[in-house]
């Protein structure tokens, strides 16, 4: 379990909405804080890997829990 500062539930949303919501949430967060994202979109696995590289916000972990995908991003 990774500690986090804010949670974003993007369940039921399809690409690109989980990424857009995560980008907005990160914009409201302080440097070093961690955002937990929950998504049901299978495409979000590759999307968040690419998003982390493009924005230099490290993807701390990702995985599947109960049919949902969970990501942890650190704001830099």
- One of 4, 13, 15, 58 is an active-site residue; which one? 15
Q: What burial class does residue 69 get, using C-beta atoms within 10 Å of its C-beta: 0-12 exposed, 13-18 middle, 19+ buried?
A: buried
Cα 21 from chain centroid (whole Å): 9
73, 51, 76: which is closest to 6 by C-alpha?
A: 73
Query: 45 an active-site residue?
Result: no
Write out the catalytic residue numbers.
Answer: 15
């Amino acid at each position: 379990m990774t500690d986090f500062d804010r949670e974003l539930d993007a369940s039921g949303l399809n690409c690109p909405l989980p990424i857009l919501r995560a980008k907005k949430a990160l914009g409201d967060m302080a440097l070093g804080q961690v955002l937990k994202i929950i998504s049901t979109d299978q495409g979000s696995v590759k999307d968040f890997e690419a998003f982390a590289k493009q924005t230099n916000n490290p993807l701390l972990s990702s995985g599947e829990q109960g049919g949902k995908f969970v990501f942890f991003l650190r704001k830099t």
